Structure 1
Amino acid sequence: MKNTDPILTYLQVTAHTRPFLSACYEKIEHPKADHHAFHNAERFMYGLTMGNDYWTTAERTPLSVQPLLYYYGLNHYLKSLILTVDPGYPATAKVLAHGLSTRKRKKQHYRFLEDDVRIQPHGLFPYAAQHLFSFSSSKEKISMDELLYPLEPMASMYQFKPEKDREIEEKWPPLLAYFAVLYNLSMLVRYEGEWWGEMQQMRDREDYVFIVQFLQAASGQIPVLISDWLKEQFSST
């Protein structure tokens, strides 16, 4: 994996993981910090390892399946992060769902930037938003354009669009924005094979250049954001 932060390797060793998790649980004043650290250590390490494995595989695989690999890699990363603040995760099966949904059948003249995802009351997305970032969106649904526009690596793409300056209505934590966009792209890969294949073959659509730029950004930025989150936890324990 490109530019792997040492903390992602450091915390995949039991001797380091258990005291780290114990300190995380003591910070939230959990009465059984050592107990949960012992039982969660392997799950935590497994999540980081699987996230890394998905990432390195995605970086070597064709564009056609990259969104799936990046999306599931981010799933594993986020579940490890959640374990640092919620030793009982997952308490119910509800929190294991995606937490987002998208339109099952696309419109005839579908455009990716105009597509949106709906936020569900239960699942990984709202759970991570609440427990990792204390974030709750004021919207029931949000477009790809609204999610991509604030991301710093996408700025170069938007400078060529003839549009007026606009204000960001709601600032999402970048990891959540990446999660939502990757979720939608993974759904296109799985259920809109004809559109996805044609988009790659033609390469002359605005969607194509935005998607390629986003996936390149996700490849480099998401591991950094995961590492930064863990280092913040590490420094405060």
Structure 2
Amino acid sequence: MHSTDPILTYLQVTAHTRPFLFACYEKIDHSRAEHHSYNNAERFIHGLTLGNDYWSTALHTPLSVKPLLFYYGMNHYIKSCLLTVDPGYPATAKVLAHGLSTRKRKKQHYRFLEDDVRIQPHGLFPHAASHLFGFSAQKDKVSMNELLRPLPPMEELFKLKNSPPLEGGEKWPELLSYFAVLYNLSMLVRYEGEWWGEMEQMKDREDYAFIVHFLDSASVQIPKIFSSWLKDQFTSLS
């Protein structure tokens, strides 16, 4: 996110944040709207600020750690957004987990596009999916190919690959697709250092082109999506 976005500049001032959150909570008929708007204002601002810090750092950091910074920046943005619709967040420790998981040991001839993530019953991902988008995945496992293919910035790359059309019509909200792919990339950075380092240095794998293009598009698209989501929340209160 960029400080030049009017909605973000506006909402990072406590005097503006509290009335905004109060209106959000009144909209859902919460009985303690005033209490929660007062208590959550600083947390909301802190989440946006940390998200910005992670994001701006990621934009100027090497590929070797970029996914990790983007992923944690996105975590903070999501948590701020959740405070607009779930004033008691986090109600339990269960929602603090990632809410996604990957294979602990990769196959010998690992291919990123063929890898998948599993959706857990509890954690940030399912909580955000439900509260921000009213979304529930139809299956508990989804591949990187399924997540990346519907993203508009990735269309051209998949055309060059001559990929066959995806079967079925399960299309995720764009923000959730970015979240799940970044989660998987952050796990590769953390736990598959040898594969990641070789991929980055050799640049001779198809995975390299898709990962770099995804990260380039994510750096622009994700802040836009968050800003748009917050603007929709704000304008809906008018």
1:16-95 paired onto structure 2 within 5 Å: 16-95=16-95
CA distance in 1, matches of 2:163, 2:81: 38
8 Å Cα contact 1:40/1:87 also seen in 2: yes
User: Normalising to structure 2: TM-score of the pair?
Assistant: 0.97
Displacement of 1:16 after TM fit? Answer: 0.7
8 Å Cα contact 2:130/2:136 also seen in 1: yes
What runs of 5+ residues in structure 1 fail to find an aligned partner? none
Partner in structure 2 of residue 198 of structure 1: 198
8 Å Cα contact 1:113/1:144 also seen in 2: yes
What runs of 5+ residues in structure 2 fail to find an aligned partner? none
1:83 maps to a residue whose letter is L
CA distance in 2, matches of 1:164, 1:47: 40
2:214 maps to a residue whose letter is F
Residue 147 (structure 2) pairs with residue 147 (structure 1): yes
Displacement of 1:4 after TM fit? Answer: 4.5
Change (3 A) 1:58 1:97: same
Displacement of 1:207 after TM fit? Answer: 0.2
Per-residue CA deviations over 1:137-191 (Å, capped at 9, x if unaligned) read 0111000000000000101101111233345531100110000000000000000
Partner in structure 2 of residue 222 of structure 1: 222
Name the Cα RMSD after superposition: 1.1
8 Å Cα contact 1:67/1:182 also seen in 2: yes
8 Å Cα contact 1:150/1:168 also seen in 2: no
1:144-223 paired onto structure 2 within 5 Å: 144-167=144-167, 169-223=169-223
The DSSP-based 3-state class of the residue aligned with 2:85 is: coil
Partner in structure 2 of residue 115 of structure 1: 115
Per-residue CA deviations over 1:202-230 (Å, capped at 9, x if unaligned) read 10111000000000011000010000000
Percent of paired sites with the same residue = 74
Partner in structure 1 of residue 15 of structure 2: 15
Q: For this pair of structures, how many residues does the alignment match? A: 237
1:231 maps to a residue whose letter is K
8 Å Cα contact 1:2/1:220 also seen in 2: no
